[in-house]
A and B are shown apart, each in its own frame.
Chain A
Amino acid sequence: MKLLQTNLQEVETAAELDKMIKENDNVMVCCGRMGPMCIPVYDIMEELEDERSKVKFAVMAFDSPEAGIIRDAKECRSFMGLPFTMYYKNGVVTAATSSIQNRSQVMSIIDEKLCN
């Protein structure tokens, strides 16, 4: 069941995320809630969907048990702020951020770590 009201693809299961990472070279997944720190990041991703066509953008609901794949990832061990955002390059995590990020922070990770 979809839990996030965004125009981005919502990944509902860990298996779905795994498949997405395998099938796409560059993936950005934002794992959050419909809260004030998360919505601005979804907003930026919606806009970047048109501008960065080599990147697959998706969201995942933080409270879904399936989101343990991100919540419990070693890259997120010290994270204490929503959303947890993961960037995957060729199937591996290349960057991860905690809490709200602005457009230039997201763009610089995408350009340096994914579309380099």
Chain B
Amino acid sequence: MDDIFDVMIIGAGAAGLTAGIYSSRARHSTLILNEGAIGGQMVLTDEIANYPGVENTQGYSLANTMKKQAKEFGCKIKSNIQIKEYQLEGKVKKVSLHDGREFSAKTVILAPGGKPRSLDIPGEDQFKGKGISYCATCDGDFFTGKEIAVIGGGNSALEEAVSLTKYAEKVTIIHQFDHFQAFEHAIREAKNHPRIKFIMESELRAFEGDTGLQKIQVEHLPSGNISEINVEGAFVFIGYMPNTKAFKDLVTLNSRDEIIVDEDKNTSTRGVFAAGDCIPKKYRQVTTAVADGTIAALSASAYLRDL
């Protein structure tokens, strides 16, 4: 056993880092364990223009400031780790990592956020970075003058499709339903664009090519007909899902796999709290994640006082 902390936080996105700031500032020994890059979805966001008090900033920059703030209050952060096992019952909670290290704490805050849904179809791994992309601002310019597809029908898919017309000759949006789940202005802008075409009620079945992506197989759902479309690029924006698989048997989840919490962010397990995109809510934003992280940390603090 390496250490026993007052508070252990799982996830270093906006919610986890905020909880880390509040908890370490309250002089609780605090550890954040994070599986990916520090900042979570914030580092996937090129520009954040709606975080109050901070004019237009890049996501990585906001994440870096939060990390710095947490560290300055004494919070320990370990990123790119892999957790093997959780024991969340009882007065001392324990986490074991794949590399054999173990950490314990009196209370745990779960802030694992969400991850992009992938299509899980043949060719997706093979052509990632060779035609398949998940970030228009990163990779758009590789597709200058080319024909590409955008998969999805939410705000991200429609907004990114419009922004990709800066580069691509033709953009085909492929969506599984007969209507979009996006803001009216985003739908209007995409529909009015002369170089955007739509294939509705259809799903991708495979990516094909040799050294790079050359075509996609698309199934028209009502008829079951499969057609091939020649594209050199495919941008996938099919939404996010909560990262809660690891907690399925440890705390109660709802039918959408979100961790159920009360207004103080208590989960069904005593001494375990949850915050951010992993809990049920209508609006998933940095501001709402930060608010959840604050409440979870203050509730954890109250729990420690009552121990």
Contact = CB atoms under 8 A, between A and B. Distances in A.
A99 B130 CA distance: 8
A44 B133 contact: no
B80 A39 contact: no
A43 B139 CA distance: 20
Given A80-B233, A81-B133, A97-B129, A36 B142 contact: no
The interface size bin for chain A is: 20 to 34
A38 interface: yes
Contacts of B129: 79-81, 97-100
Interface stretch (B37-45, B246-254, B271-279, B283-291): B37-45
B45 A37 contact: no
B79 A47 contact: yes
Name B's interface SS. loop
A99 B128 contact: yes
Interface string B242-278: 0000000000000000000000000000000000000
A40 interface: yes
Contacts, number: 76
Interface string B119-144: 00000000011111111011100110
Contacts of A102: 36
Name A's interface SS. loop
Given A78-B212, A80-B233, A37 B37 contact: no
A98 B130 contact: yes
Contacts of B37: 39-40, 43-44
Contact of B142 (A39, A47, A81): A81
Interface string A11-42: 00000000000000000000001111111100
Interface in A75-96: 77-82
A103 interface: yes
Given A40-B37, A47-B80, A99-B129, A80 B139 contact: yes
Which 3 pairs show the lowest CB-CB distances between chains A and B? A99-B129, A98-B129, A81-B129
